[in-house]
Every structure is written in structure tokens, then in C-alpha cells.
Structure 1
Amino acid sequence: MRPLDQAIVALYVVAALGLGLVLAGRQRDAGDYFLGHRGLPWWAIMLSIVATESSVVTVISVPGLAATGNLTFLQLPLGYLVGRIGVAALLLRGYFAGTQETAYTRLEHRFGGRARRTAAAIFLGTRSVADAVRVFATAIPLAIITHWSLPAGILAVGLVTLIYTWVGGIRAVVWVDVMQLGVYVLGGVATLIVALGLAGGADAFTTALQAGKLQVFDFSFSLTRTYTFWGGLIGGALLASASHGTDHLIVQRLLASKSLRDARRALIGSGLCVIVLFALFLLVGTSLWLAGAAEPGLRSDAIYPGFIATRLPAGLAGLVVAGILAAA
């Protein structure tokens, strides 16, 4: 990377660590560590949920889907929204009954200690595997763009996240999430502007429309198509019901809300934000196709990293790399 890009990435790392350490000094007890004394604004929790469920797959692979296909992937987050509405209506009230600090406290009160221990063990096992994949997936584009080794990328991502999470508690996690979401959304917008400029401006979308690249909905009942409206609606709703109704990562953030009403606003609002976020990165992929970045034979998940490494100007490339780190 160029010196300016390196400086921007370093600034992001220092800011993430600094924010986490500053907020760590405001903790007074375990309730503050796990719930932030339920004093966090609903909009911050909403953005934190969006940042939590997003990953390098959102930043790297979603643009690749649009660059090599169309926008039908956007049908999936519509199902996510439906699932969130169901969770907000049916499950959240139970979590706010009493003074529960975690989702597992609720399980213990309702079903006993064995249910709590079993659910916690399943979460730790599945989350360890999922986050290992997530961090490894982040290290791959970092290696392409920065020429870091895979172990170096994994170590950098893991250490930064571990320090501010361990020291800062839920308050640090939420506010760093908000900052991170802002970083990679800004990187996505910057890429969209640059790619459209290379493609000849917004009028280039006419070419994409004629090529079928802007198709969003597929109402067919085909079982062979990857993304259909019905598959996205049903599958997305079921997935969101499980992940946002029982997953510790999401429920813990919701429990930090000031009230049940705020938790519902944060959860449903996050569904709307995810639709906008996916739309942004799908349009980034379409703009990369218009700019000629989707070369024949190139893997879909290599299109965006290749564009960052070769086509983005100094400064913007560093911003997008910081966004990839933020999405880890």
C-alpha cells in the first residue's frame, strides 16, 4: 500500500482501540459491562446490530454477486425484515421481563440450568467456527491489497477486536460498531463514485438496465434459481428469527436498550438499514461491472479487492481497506 493508505489504516486501528479504552474507564460493575446499565440509545444499538451481522462477505462478496449477476440477492434482506418484525412482536418481551443480563439467564429462568449450559456451549462452538471463517475471509482480501501474509492479517484483525471488546464491555462494542459501520459505508460510497466516474457517470446505469443487471425481483417458483422472492422471503425470515431471536451477539445488544420499545425500534430499524446496506454494495458491484473490473475468468470475490488495489486513488484505497478491517 502507499504511505497515505497505510496512514489511514493505522489511524482507524488507533481510533478503534482508543475509543474502546476510553469507554472502558466508565464501567462500574458487571451490569455496566454486559448491559451498559441499559443507557444506550436505540439508534446506536440499531447500527451496532447492522455492523454485527455484516462481515467481509457484505463488503467483498456482495459486490461480486452483482458484478457477475444482478440484484436479485436483495430479495433476501426483505425476509430478514419480516423475521425481525416477528421477533420484536413475539420474543423480545420475554427478554425484558425482570433483570436478565444475558439471553442465557432467560433460558435458565424458563427451562433450567441444563438448557442454559447447553445453549451456551452450542453458541461457543458454532460462533468459534463462524468467526474463524469470518476472520480468515477478511485476511484474504487484505493479503491481495496490502501484500500482508495471511497469519499477519488474521493476527491484526483478531488482536484489535479482542482488546476493545474484552476491556470495554458492551458500551465499547456498540460505539466501536457504529464507527466501523460508518467507515465501511463511506468506503462503499467512495468506490461507487469512483467506479461510476470511470464508467462514464450515472448514465452508464442505462447499459446495466439493458443488460438485465438491475433486476431485483424474481417471482418464479423455480427450485434451481439461487435467489427468488419466495425463497428470500421465507428463508430470510427463518434465518433472522433464529439469529436475532436467540443469538447471544444480537440479543445482548438488544438487552442494552433503555426499554422494550427501544429494543423493538432498534431491531426493526436494523432490518431496514440492512436492505439499504445490501443495496449499496450491490450497486458497487454493478458499477465495477460497468467500469470493466469484472474481467472474464476472475473469481467474483476477487473483483472488488483487485479494483481497490489497482484503480482506487491513494487515500480512498486506505479508507476501503480500513472498511474491510472494520467489517471483520
Structure 2
Amino acid sequence: MRALDLVIVAVFLVGTPLLGIALGGRQRSSTDYFVGSRRIPWWAVTFSVVATETSTLTVISVPTVAYLGNATYLQLAIGYLIGRVLVAFVLLPRYYAGNLVSAYGFLGKRFGPGMQGTASVTFLVTRLLADGVRLFATAIPVKIMLDEFGMDVSYPVIVAAIALVAVIYTYLGGIRAVIWVDAIQMGIYLLGAIAAVFVLAGRLPDGWLAGAAGEGKFQLFDFSSNVVTNQYAFVTAVVGGALFAMASHGADQLMVQRLLACKNVRDSQKAVIASGIVVFVQFALFLFIGALLWSFYGGRTPGELGLTASDELFPKFIVEELPPGLSGLLVAGILAAAMSTISSSLNSLSTSTISDLYQRFTKRPLPDAVVLKQAKLWTLIWAGVFVVFASLFTTTDQPVVELGLSIASYTYGALLGAFFLGILVKHARQADAVVAFLSTVAVAAVFALGGEFTVDGVRLPLAFPWYVPLGVVVTLVVGGLLSLRHGAPDPKATAVAEQSRQDA
């Protein structure tokens, strides 16, 4: 009967690129490839943003967070919504005012090409690491399913196959194909998750709800005074989550590119705020699944269940416990979540490479046909690099959702801080911004690689939600102090402000 699951997954893998090509249509210009000529409906962009950030990490790893702990992870979603509201009214109007296709184009206009290139390179490295984790996470349930059939396929091979499917429609359909396929893929994984809830709820013993509640599985708020190292303390999660969302949706090309595909700034604002509401509901859904799994398995540890990694909990249930067909649908949903992230990353990496780096280094205007050709070429190059990076994460004991967020947090503070520096400190020049940016990355590296605090006699690292706030503060302080050397505001700051007023 498991053959039905393989058929469903196979149909999904074959049908997805065909659907993407059909929906994407022909790409006639680089603007069409990068931002869909700004003709995408805001609700489709909302679904694409949610699908992109959800990825496999949410589908298989967020349930693990609740299984091993409780629902305090949802506090991050509260901060995420606050941060998106700020992005909508602080950053998006500036991007539309400059008619940009890259988030870092704003830094180029405000400071100069050096700062734009520095931010773009940082984005490229961060995306490779963070989405490398996501791509690897997708291979986990696929490998478990193949093992059930006695097929010993390595993680790198699975990763390469997934990346190949995603790159086909990304290469041929551009951002329009990515967004529309994202919206459909979101429906697939949500349908699978809801079905899993009903199956789980129907197989639990009487009194499971009271038992799970008694173990604190539904605890939402954590008002712990340890806000430094406890990543889910209320203040840490909400403040850190808000600034993380400002960085991820306002200073990260992966999300900004989708928002710039809307018809106008008002539609873009609706898309980003609505995505915050949908993400909150999604987090609640997958945390609830984690509590159900805890009740189903009687609270046994992953090791007691014969698992080598905690993130195999939900995939184990999907493959072993769900009826044929539904199991295949959920595996397809996990693949859908991964492909939405990978295809989005490939498109944004290509866009940033061409608009922020390639055209800067050539130092001459390029025909649009050449820009479009180079964009597609770099989509293929980044796909190959992705497979290599994803293979680096084949062994980790940490829930991969936390690992992915931690990696992104290392550089998000510097990126968001650079945007704030450009907006708030009019005297700051390009050299000030670059030095402040690099100083922030160095400080984040110190905390990421060894900075610890002693709490109740135990050495613990700084909670990952604080990396972004720390980075913003360091960038503003260093850049602000360096800007005191200049007696007058930067002419570029005046020009950007004047353009914003004219476009408004």
C-alpha cells in the first residue's frame, strides 16, 4: 500500500516544475524575471511570503519544539507580527520610492556601491547557510520513507534531487512562477498538517488533553527573569522576534523581493502584515501537533523511540502511522515547503548577484537581454552551491528550526542596523556604514562562537533572539560615533530623502 505514497510524491515532483513553467509564462525582461513586472496580487504575495519562511523547518521541527518543551515558541510569532507592521510603514515606502528590485539598492543609493556590495555578499553567505539547513531538513522524511522500502539513498543524493526540481521552474518562470507555486504549495502542506491533526486526535486515549496540559505542553507565556540566555522568555522572544522580523522581511532580499512584486506600496503593506497573522496561526497548528505527538508516544524520548535525531519525530509518525495516501500527501507537503524556500532563495540570490554585484563590477550599462541571461545562469550556479552547503548539516542534535534561526540571526542585526543607520543618522557616510557593519558581524561572531553567560552556575550562550537587537545597537553606536567626524549631512542622505518626498 505504501506504493501509493511513492506515486503521490512522484506526481508532485514531476508536476511541480510543469505547473511552475505554465504559471510563470515567458520572461521577456529582467524586471519580469526579478519582480514579475510588479503585477502580482497582494494575497498571492502573502501566501508566497508565508510559504517561503515556513519551509521544512516549521513542518517537521516546530512540532519537535513542543514535544520536547512547550508552546512558548509562539511568543516569537507575536514579535514577528509587530516587526512586520514596522516594516510595512518604515521600510517598504522607501523601496518603492526608489523603484528598486533589490533591498540593498537602498543602501547603494544612501551610502554608495561599497555598502551595497558588502550587504549583498553578507546576504548571499547567510542564505546559503540558513537555507542549507532547510534543504537538509527536507531530506529527513524522504529518507525515512525510502528506508521503509529498503532503499538506502544518501542525504546528498536526496538533497540534489529536491534542488533539481526547484531549479527547473525557477530558471524558466522567474519570480512569477515562484510566487504562484508557493501559494499552491502552502495549501498542500497545510492540508496535510490539518489531516494529521485529525488522525492523531482520533487515536489518542481519553484524558490526553488534561495530561498534556498538566505537563505544560500548552504553556504560551514564559515570564522568566532570565532574559539573557532563555530564548523563549517573553521579553526575549517578543523584542527579539520583532527585530528579527524587521530584518528578515525588511532587510533580507529573500522576502523583500516578493513584497516588491506587488502593484504598489499599499498592496505590499497588506501582504506583509497579513503574512504575520497567517504565520501565527501556522505556528500554533504545528505546536499543537507536537503536543499531540507527545501524547501519542507517551512522552518517550526520541532515543527511546529508536530515533537518531529529535527532528525525526513527526516524519516517523507520517511514514509509519498515517494511512497510505495521506502519508504521501504529507511528505509532498514537506517537499512543497522546502521547494518554496529553495526556489525563492535561488531567485533572490540570482537577483542580488546581478543587481548588487555583477552590474557594479562591470561598471557599464548592460543590455536587458544580457542581464536576464546572467540572472538565469546564476540561478543554476547557486543551485549547485546549495546542494554542497546542505550536505554540511547531516549531523546535528539541535532542532533544525532553532539552528536555522540562529544562523540567520548572526548577520541580520548588521543588515537591519545598516538600514537604520541610513535612515536615522544623516551625517553617516559609506565608510562609517561599512566599518559599523563589519564591526557588528565581528561582535556577533564572538557571541556565536564562544560568548557565554553564567546562570545558576551553568555556562550558557546568549539566546539567539538577542543577536539581531545586539547587532542593531552595535551598528548604530559605531556608525553614529564615526559620523560625528563630519560637519554636514551626507549629500546622498539628502538626495534619498528628497526623492522619497517627491514619490510620496
TM-score for the superposition, normalised by structure 2: 0.62
The more displaced of 113-122 and 166-175 is: 113-122
Q: Partner of 1:249 in structure 2?
A: 254
SS of equivalent to 2:125: helix
The alignment status of 1:216 with 2:226, answered yes or no, reads no
Q: Partner of 2:334 in structure 1?
A: 324
Amino acid at match of 2:211: T
**Is the CA contact 1:108–1:115 (under 8 Å) kept in the aligned structure 2?**
yes
Q: Partner of 1:113 in structure 2?
A: 113
Q: Partner of 2:178 in structure 1?
A: 173
Amino acid at match of 2:271: A
Amino acid at match of 1:168: G
Q: Partner of 2:49 in structure 1?
A: 49
TM superposition shift of 1:74 = 0.6
Q: Encode CA deviations 1:260-307: one digit per residue, 9 max, x unaligned.
A: 111111111111111001000011111111222653343531211111
Amino acid at match of 1:178: A
TM superposition shift of 1:151 = 2.1
Counterparts of 2:272 and 2:48, CA distance in 1: 10
The alignment status of 1:76 with 2:80, answered yes or no, reads no
1:175-324 pair list within 5 angstroms: 175-200=180-205, 204-223=208-227, 225-292=230-297, 294-298=299-303, 299-324=309-334
**Matched length:** 327
Q: Encode CA deviations 1:76-101: one digit per residue, 9 max, x unaligned.
A: 11111111111112111100014222
**Is the CA contact 1:196–1:204 (under 8 Å) kept in the aligned structure 2?**
no
Counterparts of 2:47 and 2:24, CA distance in 1: 20
The more displaced of 158-167 and 97-106 is: 97-106
1:114-129 pair list within 5 angstroms: 114-129=114-129
Counterparts of 1:25 and 1:301, CA distance in 2: 38
Counterparts of 2:219 and 2:98, CA distance in 1: 47
2:165 to 160, 164, 172: 160
Q: Encode CA deviations 1:35-68: one digit per residue, 9 max, x unaligned.
A: 1111111111011111111122111111011122
Amino acid at match of 2:40: L
Q: Partner of 2:2 in structure 1?
A: 2
Amino acid at match of 1:310: E
- 1:123–1:289 CA distance, 2 compared to 1 (3 A): same
- 1:226–1:128 CA distance, 2 compared to 1 (3 A): closer
Aligned-pair identity (%): 51
Q: Partner of 2:32 in structure 1?
A: 32
**Is the CA contact 2:98–2:106 (under 8 Å) kept in the aligned structure 1?**
no
**Is the CA contact 2:104–2:251 (under 8 Å) kept in the aligned structure 1?**
no
Counterparts of 2:298 and 2:34, CA distance in 1: 44
TM superposition shift of 1:220 = 2.5
TM superposition shift of 1:140 = 2.4
Q: Encode CA deviations 1:208-254: one digit per residue, 9 max, x unaligned.
A: 22332111112232245441211110110111111111101100000
**Is the CA contact 1:195–1:291 (under 8 Å) kept in the aligned structure 2?**
yes
TM superposition shift of 1:315 = 0.5
SS of equivalent to 2:213: helix
- 1:35–1:222 CA distance, 2 compared to 1 (3 A): same
TM-score for the superposition, normalised by structure 1: 0.94
Q: Encode CA deviations 1:143-170: one digit per residue, 9 max, x unaligned.
A: 1232342122101211111111121111
Counterparts of 2:296 and 2:180, CA distance in 1: 35
Q: Which structure is larger by alpha-carbon Rg, 1 or 2?
A: 2
Counterparts of 2:130 and 2:87, CA distance in 1: 23
- 1:268–1:24 CA distance, 2 compared to 1 (3 A): closer
SS of equivalent to 1:214: coil
**Is the CA contact 1:42–1:265 (under 8 Å) kept in the aligned structure 2?**
yes
Amino acid at match of 1:117: G
**Is the CA contact 1:92–1:260 (under 8 Å) kept in the aligned structure 2?**
yes
SS of equivalent to 1:96: helix
What's the C-alpha RMSD, in Å, of the aligned pairs? 1.8
**Is the CA contact 1:293–1:303 (under 8 Å) kept in the aligned structure 2?**
no
The alignment status of 1:135 with 2:135, answered yes or no, reads yes
**Is the CA contact 1:47–1:177 (under 8 Å) kept in the aligned structure 2?**
yes
SS of equivalent to 2:119: helix
Amino acid at match of 1:56: T
SS of equivalent to 2:97: coil
Mark the runs of 5 or more structure 1 residues left unpaired by the alignment. none
Counterparts of 1:89 and 1:75, CA distance in 2: 23
Mark the runs of 5 or more structure 2 residues left unpaired by the alignment. 148-152, 304-308, 339-504
TM superposition shift of 1:106 = 2.6
TM superposition shift of 1:22 = 1.1
